[in-house]
A and B are shown apart, each in its own frame.
Chain A
Amino acid sequence: MTKMASVRLFIVMATLQQWPLYQLDVKNVFLNGDLQEEIYMEQPPGFVA
């Protein structure tokens, strides 16, 4: 969990140094993780592959 104090420090530091601040967004973020545990699920009803 990101700490608010870190966010503020981050932005202030960049501003004082006159560094550019850029933003990126990751799409479908939770589809990226590789599972380490065995997880099984039933096919959702109505799903057609």
Chain B
Amino acid sequence: MSQPTLATSYLKRGLSRQTWIITGIILVLLHLLPWAIPQIVHIVIMIYLFATMGQAWNVLGGYTGQFSFGHSLFFGLGAYVSTLLYLKLGITPWIGILISSLSGIALGLFIGALSFRYGLKGPFFALIMLAFAEIFHMITMGWNAVGGSPGLLIPLKGNAPHLMQFTSKQPFYYMALWMMVGSLYLVWRLEKTRTGLYFLSVREDHDAAEALGVDTFKVQMIAMAISAGLTAMIGTIYAQYLLFIDPDSTFGILNSVEIMVRPIIGGPGTVLGPLLGSVVLTPLAEITRLAFQSYSGVYLMWYGMILVIVIMFLPHGLMGMIRQIIDKYRKG
């Protein structure tokens, strides 16, 4: 490797003009997609929503190395907070989504303070998250004031943009698209900042990071706040999109798996991994759900199989595979 000059920076982020132009073209095409192929809008919305949640999980799990096994907690919290605010107090979900996000952050920081203060990591942190998600699952199941096990129905008001209700899917498509693009951009920028590098150092070696002046507690709390706040926002959008939430589909353990399996298969700790994982898995789940309607849960068998294959042959996920191919191409 030649002696690098200081004009070229290896830490800063920059894309070539070519890449920016291609990205721009892809973005424009994605904006035109609902008009071009309206049949697949629903699936693409789900791809975006899960890609965004995967990205949120990725900040904590992929970059900071704290695997959360209960991210449905923040998703469910976001869905319930905005829905209850609307149903009980008549507060529009546009404000609800902010309050959802803030309550997600607050709960995330509370759990973070409990766990990171005592250096919990690995399976112990995963179980703490699972436990909290189950606590909320049980509370919402049993407490009739918040809907109980039948869940909550958001009354249909027709096309009511001020209540985040639309008769067509297009507005949700654009909301989901921009949430996804925003989260992608945020993480992409974050990756090469001091905070981003600190996330990685905590994942790689806690003690070494601490010895180099990294406040590991604070760094993990920041990752937790970003992750929780973003996931809760998606919870609100999801609730408004389906106009129905129940404890199983929000706080349920399967939902946690749904959130974490995409970044793991796509490549944890990479910017594009969650999106890639979502592009592959979300249609697969939806299609198998349609194809095997009478056998509920078949899509989970698919997840299991893919997960086994990916962990055995692609330890760095699909992104790792792509990177290998690019390296080979460059050398050869």
Answer yes or no: do A and B interact.
no
Chain B residues within 8 Å of A, Cβ to Cβ? none
